[in-house]
Amino acid sequence: MANTADTIAFREIAHPAPTSDADRAVVLANPGFGTAFTDHMVSVDWTEGKGWHDATIGPRGPIMLDPAAAVLHYAQEIFEGLKAYRHPDGTTALFRPEANARRFNASADRLAMPNLPEELFLGAIEALLAKDGGWIPEGAGASLYLRPFMFANEAFLGVRPAKQYKFLLIASPAGNYFKSGAPAVSIWVSSDYTRAAPGGTGAAKCGGNYAASLVPQAAAIERGFDQVVFLDAVERKWIEELGGMNLFFVFDDGRVITPPLSGTILPGITRDSLLELLREEGLDVAEERYSIADWEADAKSGKLVECFACGTAAVVTPVGRVAGRDLDFTIGTGGPGQLTGKVKDKLTGIQRGEIADSHGWVKRFD
Ligand SMILES: *Cc1c(COP(=O)(O)O)cnc(C)c1O
């Protein structure tokens, strides 16, 4: 992606007071997740009849919004999440950013929003990294988390797709996603709430899905669990995914399954990459429905030996304990399983430039 930024002109707005090297070093030594931000952001506007215009890169800061901006009323908003890594040779690398660009447009289609050209999506990332590349933390599990997003900023209270949008890209240095750094997470099965219904927005990466997941997620935390898992909205028996991560199940005969993309599950890029890596391990891998009753029975009989959640933020996270109304069980030893560790190391090794990338997944630039 060497030349993408050259072909799109991002007007530069000078930063009046960028963070000093010393202050930045303090942040990067302990970045946390989602609380610290880099100095710059990219902004591009879209107006009906005019298309994308006014691409800028400048200081990150508050934005002006009319109180009638459509996003504040009807939630026309989508986002993406991907990470930039500092490779051992000093280059900056992204993992499958074109897949994020494509998914961003799939989400835009579902939310009746304009598509963002893939070159603009990738060019924005490259422009931001050119400015804020010094914010990529180094060390195990560390990366610069990139958050591209788009929302309707037209001032209009009628209900129809807006005629004006803003695309922004911000970045946040990130350490490990789970604060505890726990070897395995515990999961609460929600019986009162669902995440997505057939025909709904479950396959789109939109803020509205997350808003709807906050109450069940908070209920899981209140019970002492790390995450909530959602069942399908129709039969309330098929396992779908966590609030922001896909799930895999590993059996004692070497078979691995993950729920199929039915339209109610977010098509994770980590999920897709792991399907490929697991197949390369010679395993029998399938996208197949799996019921909560089987999950419990198989964990108790020992047929299910490992389970893990995956996504860009937390990468690969073993699931140790699962509980819900009338059920409570442990998977395997309750700690990280062997295959989980193996595919996690493989994936993160490729992302971090420590293992050769035979898939063309890694995009590097200086
Ligand atoms: C982003 C997301 C995922 C994970 O997708 P990745 O591309 O692997 O980061 C899974 N589920 C939901 C609901 C998500 O929003």
The pLDDT tens digits of the residues spanning 46-61 come to: 999 999 999 999 999 9
Question: Is residue 106's pLDDT more than 70?
Answer: yes
Whether the CB of 82 sits within 6 Å of ligand 1: no
Question: Could you read off the pLDDT of 304-320 as tens digits, one per residue?
Answer: 999 999 999 889 999 99
Confidence of residue 175 (pLDDT cuts 50, 70, 90): confident
Residue nearest to atom 14 of ligand 1 (CA): 244
CA 347 – CA 141 distance, rounded (Å): 12
What are the backbone angles phi and psi of residue 165, rounded to the nearest 5°? Answer: -140, 160
How is the chain split into domains, by residue range? 4-176, 185-351
> From the CA atom positions of the chain, what is the Rg in Å?
21
Taking alpha carbons only, the member of 68, 2, 8 closest to residue 44 is 8
- Across residues 16-39, what is the average pLDDT? 95
- Measured by CA distance, the residue closest to atom 2 of ligand 1 is 244
Residue 182: is its pLDDT beyond 80? no
Name the architecture of domain 4-176: 2-Layer Sandwich (3.30)
Cα–Cα distance, 78 to 125 (Å, whole number)? 17
Q: Whose CA is nearest to atom 12 of ligand 1?
A: 244
Task: Give 265 Cα–ligand 1 centroid separation in angstroms.
Answer: 9
Ligand 1 centroid to residue 219 C-alpha, Å: 21
Which helix (DSSP H) or strand (DSSP E) does residue 102 occupy?
Answer: helix 97-110
Residue 5 has pLDDT above 60, yes or no: no
Please name the fold of domain 185-351.
Answer: D-amino Acid Aminotransferase; Chain A, domain 2 (3.20.10)
Q: Which amino acid is at 193?
A: Y
CA of 123 from ligand 1 middle (Å) equals 22
3-state secondary structure of 100: helix
Average pLDDT over residues 340-365: 95
Mean pLDDT over residues 192-204, rounded? 97
**How far is Cα 149 from Cα 207, in angstroms, rounded to an integer?**
10
Q: Among the atoms of ligand 1, which is closest to the Cα of residue 246?
A: 10
268 lines ligand 1 (CB under 6 A): yes
Please provide the DSSP assignment of 259-315 as one string.
----SSS---HHHHHHHHHHHHTT-EEEE---BHHHHHHHHHHT-EEEEEEEETTTE
Mean pLDDT for 349-362 is 96
| pLDDT greater than 70 at residue 206 | yes
Q: What is the pLDDT of residue 2?
A: 39
CA gap 309, 286 in Å, rounded: 16
